[in-house]
Structure 1
Amino acid sequence: MNFSNPTVVVFVVYIAAMLGIGLYAYFSTKNLDDYILGGRSLGSFVTALSAGASDMSGWLLMGLPGAIYLTGLSESWIAIGLIIGAWLNWYLVAGRLRVHTEVQNNALTLPDYFTGRFDDQKKILRVTSALIILIFFAIYCASGMVAGARLFETLFHLPYQTALMLGAFATIGYVCIGGFLAISWTDTFQAGLMIFALLLLPIVTYMSLGIGAEEFTAIVESARPHAYDFVSNLSFVAILSAAAWGLGYFGQPHILVRFMAVKSVHSIKIARRICVGWMGLSMVGAVLTGVMGIAYFNSFDVNPESIFILFSEHLFTPWLAGILLAAILSSIMCAIDSQMLASSSALTEDIYRAVFRKHASQRELMWVSRISIILIAIVAIVLAYSPSSRVIDLVSFAWAGLGAAFGPVVILSLFWRRMTAKGAITGICLGALSVILWRLKSGGIFDVYEIIPGYIIATVGIIFVSLVDKPASEAVLSQFDNAWKKIRMTA
């Protein structure tokens, strides 16, 4: 690696800044509540941008522009589904989950919330939820590791395994040191960097072409005749499967935890507008980057997912290119850091303390959480170690698994008083299992994205088992009613 290269210098400074933020967060972290949820002290701005950035990953700057470059606007259905899903998640779930988790003895994690909501004395629901989180997040983290390795491999001409280790170290450092505050603050900074890059690049590219709108449109349509057609060569199943990505939001622990950590319910309305606005502008920038790529690179043989990288190197000075390329690293790190902490929280709070060390000290729990992050990172590195690993396959599988396992349970637990612990356990297991089994099949009906059957099967299972099960205890019902009284008061 050449340290006289401006791009290398920018990357080194950027990583050092993230570690610095992690160190600063370390001194603001006093107990496990601070480490896992930041002491429920996040304001609207940080909550919004950290929640938005944490689920985008390298797909936003590499995958989406590349897909648009190859096919055109018909690849926008995933983006459309994600924006709608994110808005509904903020509107339906955020405030209610914040209140319910506070009523349930200030639950720190999603399994912790399920335990309180359904009075899970045997801890079956808690441990089952934690294990499913660990399984799918290991796959999710591996996808981020692969994307980071690809970036370092391409830019600095490093061997894949070396690039993998470098990318992993960059993220593990500040997460391990500073916990939730570190990832929230770094994600906010990184979200700003990402939207700056995505809005700047299409504008500069269009200006560099030096042509009018009509000529630009003609060039794009000449290279991709159906570039502006949203349904070109797409079946109803393909459109439905792409848009169904939005369902995943309701079950992503690393996103839901942001709602649990917000300072108050009153902050959520502002945060929703900021987050969805950020997502919308960022995705518009990503789509425009792909369209610009059709006009700019149509006569070249390029890797579609490298469009953003190529633009950065062709149109900007090395220093500014380094900043734009750091935005790609930002998008990758935003996803990995949240997933690592959510996995660590499940290990520490829902397995280590709940099952083995109920009276462990806060200092002990924080160190267990830090060690858990390192162990999770090692597992993710092992899964990502093969250069043949594909990012999109790993992401889609993990997103569907978490979404189907927890989405129906979260939604029904917040709105349906009659839901029981057995119904919740059934829904989690059926959602996860149906995604895994559906993934093994192909052709015909099995071409539908597995999150759709996962949601349907889990929801039916929850409702059926809860109705045939005996009603929850009066204490559980009373807590549910108390939460809804607070929700109505804050509406």
Structure 2
Amino acid sequence: MPVNIPGLISVLVFYLVILAVGIWASRKSQIEEKKCPGNRSEISMVGGRNMNIVTGIFTMTATWVGGGYVIGTAEAVYVPTLGLIWALGPLAYVINFIVGGTFFAKPMREKNFVTMMDPFQIKYGNAVSSLFLIPAFIGDLLWVACILGGLGGTMSVILDMSSMHSVFISTGVAILYTLLGGLYSVAYTDVIQLIFMAISLAVCVPFVLMNPASSGITFTATHELFQAPWLGKLELRDLGKWIDDLLLLSIGGLCYQAFFQRILAAASPSHSQIMCYAAAVFSASMGIPSVLIGAVAASTDWNQTSYGLPTPFEKGEGGKILPIALQHLCPPFVSIIGIGAIAAAVMSSVDSAMLSSASLFGRNIYKSILRKQASENEVVWVIRASVLVIGLSGMGLSFVSDSVYAFWLISGDVIYTVIFAQLVCVLYFPSSNAYGALAGFVMGSTLRFLGGDHILKITPIIHFPYCRLIDGVYVQYFPFRTLAVLVSFITILSVSCLASLLFNRGLLSEKWDVFKVKPQTDGTNKRKTEEMCLDDGKPVALEMSPLERTVNK
């Protein structure tokens, strides 16, 4: 089929607008760099720590409301084996932002950290903290793949364009403006993208609802017509998996660098909390169009549409149901508007994921471990190179799976099971130490791996209660990922207390204390210190351990 030229032109125009905004925002970044030339890398990562509330709310919401959220929610509502009850995104994001704003935003912003991993390196040192960077990178990489995969599927359906070409162009644009202006470009383009996304989806939904091939969604919500009711059902034996998935998407979202990057860029701790609470409302609202489109798709007699039979689910295209519905249930010009909404959702998240991973690598690995004497200019270029690598790697992974919802879950899975317990301990439990953190990492990762993964078709070694064989693949219906988090948390605290007891009471020789848990006789800690730039631009030395001393700074 020929490429949809009008649609392609509209998408290219949208990309040019976004690129222009990104270039304009990069000028603000340059102005801030002139004010504090010794902190170029921090400006690239957290701006000038002067992000206003309105921009903060937009960029926080746009980062989470990406292609995975918009397309994945519609997919979950449409797929007969799931339904609305399993479309956990909107509810999960409300929980995510409320918990994040209440318990994590203020302590992180008050201490003027630059990345999520700063408190880990300050408390545990570089060696142990490096382990936690691995799941953080994997999570961001899968997130990029999830987002770009959604875009490729959408454009291939509506524009009759190769998904490879569309993903390549979109990735290139996002990489370009992220390289130019860092967080400033990402934040200001998020404002435009979120507005465009909201307007586009609002235009499309009425046309989808009024299509004559679709029955009333109020009837099909609880009655079987063309397929199972789209509300779905939650049986008691499935409750464990439902809770596990909900906590994975909600609590796991607190462990992304992209989340803290916006918190740390806020003008004040109170502003960072307001951003989170407002984003909870807006992110849930942005999920409503996807829910409606998924419900209509489940209520449609596809034989009366240009799509025909078999249905999208029977053809294995449930992951593309949102673009399919826009293409076959809307007039052509409306479907073109819809592709703009998806493109906006994709780019508002993919740039954030790329910059977050690049920030972690540039500051917490390159600057802190590989080249401690690296200049600010050198670190900035390392961040830019990392943005390029992450973007291209995620682009390659985006062609692996057709299910956006699968990538979306796996991304959060990696982060949730390994990092969340560590983050709680490093912020709220001063007694935790590197020995406990290392033991918790091993226990949590091992237990998660032994549980297998039905999405990746990894056979579980441990069959938890309610483990069932479905279509030749074992699926865990016990909340084993949450169990891994709890075991990791208990291990961190118990091993930390044990290590402190053994070394502080002389039961083990001080020469075995490689992580220096025992306080030094001169009242100082042997660990090296690291300079961090405060809001006034004056560097202050923060002791690497213990963490509570940084609060007084």
Aligned position for 1:59:
68
Contact 2:46 2:264 in 1 (8 A): yes
Aligned position for 2:56:
47
Aligned position for 1:146:
149
Cα deviation code 1:356-389 (max 9, x no counterpart) = 3223222221111111111223333343455x56
Contact 2:158 2:336 in 1 (8 A): no
Cα 1:69–1:274 shift into 2, 3 Å: same
| Cα distance in 2 for residues equivalent to 1:397 and 1:137 | 11
Where 2:230 maps in the other structure, the secondary structure is: coil
Cα 1:7–1:433 shift into 2, 3 Å: farther
Aligned position for 2:204:
201
Where 1:40 maps in the other structure, the secondary structure is: coil
2:118 aligned partner, one-letter code: D
Cα 1:429–1:52 shift into 2, 3 Å: farther
Q: Is 1:190 equivalent to 2:197 in the alignment?
A: no
Where 2:373 maps in the other structure, the secondary structure is: coil
2:70 aligned partner, one-letter code: L
Aligned position for 2:140:
137
2:344 aligned partner, one-letter code: S
Question: Structure 2: 5+ residue runs without aligned partners?
Answer: 34-39, 453-457, 468-475, 501-516, 524-542
Where 1:42 maps in the other structure, the secondary structure is: coil
Q: Is 1:173 equivalent to 2:176 in the alignment?
A: yes
Aligned position for 1:454:
484
| Cα distance in 2 for residues equivalent to 1:41 and 1:472 | 39
Cα deviation code 1:53-110 (max 9, x no counterpart) = 223432322221122123332223454233223321222111122113x2xxxx3112
Any residues of structure 2 matched to 1:32-431 within 5 Å, and which?
32-71=41-80, 72-100=83-111, 102=112, 107-116=113-122, 118=123, 120=125, 123-207=126-210, 217-218=218-219, 220=221, 221-223=223-225, 224=227, 226-228=229-231, 230-231=233-234, 235-245=238-248, 246-297=250-301, 299=303, 301-302=311-312, 303-314=317-328, 318-386=332-400, 388=401, 390-431=403-444
| Cα distance in 2 for residues equivalent to 1:472 and 1:182 | 45
Greater CA drift, 4-13 or 69-78: 69-78
1:113 aligned partner, one-letter code: P
Superposition deviation, residue 458 in structure 1: 1.8
Greater CA drift, 230-239 or 11-20: 230-239
Aligned position for 1:14:
14
Where 2:234 maps in the other structure, the secondary structure is: coil
1:22 aligned partner, one-letter code: G
1:217 aligned partner, one-letter code: T
1:88 aligned partner, one-letter code: V
Superposition deviation, residue 37 in structure 1: 0.9
Question: Structure 1: 5+ residue runs without aligned partners?
Answer: 487-491
Contact 1:49 1:187 in 2 (8 A): yes
Where 1:62 maps in the other structure, the secondary structure is: helix
Where 2:267 maps in the other structure, the secondary structure is: coil
- From 471, 480, 485, the equivalent of 2:548 is 480
Cα deviation code 1:318-374 (max 9, x no counterpart) = 555333211112222222212211111122111211123223222221111111111
Superposition deviation, residue 281 in structure 1: 0.9
Where 2:287 maps in the other structure, the secondary structure is: helix
1:83 aligned partner, one-letter code: V
| Cα distance in 2 for residues equivalent to 1:218 and 1:287 | 15
Where 1:188 maps in the other structure, the secondary structure is: helix
Q: TM-score, normalised by structure 2?
A: 0.77
Cα 1:325–1:114 shift into 2, 3 Å: same
| Cα distance in 2 for residues equivalent to 1:63 and 1:276 | 18
Superposition deviation, residue 163 in structure 1: 3.6
Structure with bigger RCO (C-alpha 8 Å, 6+ apart): 1
Superposition deviation, residue 421 in structure 1: 2.9
| Cα distance in 2 for residues equivalent to 1:481 and 1:351 | 23
| Cα distance in 2 for residues equivalent to 1:202 and 1:45 | 27
Cα 1:478–1:425 shift into 2, 3 Å: closer
Cα 1:465–1:232 shift into 2, 3 Å: closer
| Cα distance in 1 for residues equivalent to 2:444 and 2:214 | 51
Superposition deviation, residue 449 in structure 1: 5.8
How high is the sequence identity, in percent, across the aligned residues?
18
| Cα distance in 1 for residues equivalent to 2:77 and 2:273 | 32
Contact 1:49 1:191 in 2 (8 A): yes
| Cα distance in 2 for residues equivalent to 1:4 and 1:208 | 22
Superposition deviation, residue 413 in structure 1: 2.1
Superposition deviation, residue 296 in structure 1: 4.0
| Cα distance in 2 for residues equivalent to 1:450 and 1:173 | 41
| Cα distance in 2 for residues equivalent to 1:317 and 1:346 | 45
Cα 1:314–1:382 shift into 2, 3 Å: closer
Cα deviation code 1:218-241 (max 9, x no counterpart) = 355342554345526972223223
Cα deviation code 1:402-427 (max 9, x no counterpart) = 12222112222222222223323433
C-alpha RMSD of matched pairs (Å): 3.1
Greater CA drift, 250-259 or 1-10: 1-10
| Cα distance in 2 for residues equivalent to 1:394 and 1:184 | 24
Cα 1:428–1:175 shift into 2, 3 Å: farther
Greater CA drift, 435-444 or 164-173: 435-444
Cα 1:437–1:38 shift into 2, 3 Å: farther
Q: TM-score, normalised by structure 1?
A: 0.85
Contact 2:141 2:394 in 1 (8 A): yes
Contact 2:78 2:297 in 1 (8 A): yes
Aligned position for 1:489:
none
Greater CA drift, 272-281 or 424-433: 424-433
2:367 aligned partner, one-letter code: R
Structure whose CA Rg is larger: 2
Greater CA drift, 5-14 or 141-150: 141-150
Cα 1:8–1:190 shift into 2, 3 Å: same
Contact 1:400 1:435 in 2 (8 A): no
2:430 aligned partner, one-letter code: R
2:96 aligned partner, one-letter code: G
1:334 aligned partner, one-letter code: S
Give the total of aligned pairs.
Answer: 474
Give 1 or 2: higher helix fraction. Answer: 1
| Cα distance in 1 for residues equivalent to 2:257 and 2:360 | 10
| Cα distance in 1 for residues equivalent to 2:44 and 2:547 | 27
